[in-house]
Amino acid sequence: MMSGRPALSSDAALPRLLVQGGESSAQEFDVFEVVEVAGDVIQVRSAFLFEVGEQLPVRIEHEGGVSDAIARVRAHLGPDDARITELEISERSEPQVRPAAAGGAGGAGGG
């Protein structure tokens, strides 16, 4: 019998977070591996150690939609060799449907 509590996030359901940098949001950096999501709190692994309280502009890709938000570093959890960074998401825009990439991975494919 299944319980009424929510299931833990599976890899397929986890969003992708891209840090927006530079002077335009056109530059995005894939520096997070999302571990778990609970409401507006996202736990991630990263090779980078951000300061607690630091706010990062991020793009969130999830289930075909894309939204922009601010991720505030709440805490660093666990030992140094297995550190988890806890982010709180705020100011999240409504998800926009991501258009299909023209030409796919192989380029335009002219003849």
pLDDT digits over 53-110, tens only?
A: 999 999 999 999 999 999 999 999 999 889 999 999 999 999 898 665 544 444 444 4
Contacts 24+ apart (CB under 8 A), 22-30: 25/57, 25/59, 25/68, 28/59
Distance CA 32, CA 42 (A): 10
Mean pLDDT, range 9-31, rounded to an integer = 79
User: Which pLDDT score is estimated for 110?
Assistant: 47
Whether pTM > 0.85 for this model: the answer is no
pLDDT of the residue at 43:
97
**Using 50, 70 and 90 to split pLDDT, how confident is the model at 22?**
low
Query: Residue 25's pLDDT band (boundaries 50, 70, 90)?
Result: low
What does the radius of gyration of the chain's CA atoms come to, in whole angstroms?
16
- The DSSP H or E segment spanning 11 is none
d(Cα 102, Cα 79) in Å, to the nearest integer?
A: 43
Distance in angstroms (rounded) separating the CA atoms of residues 96 and 110 = 30
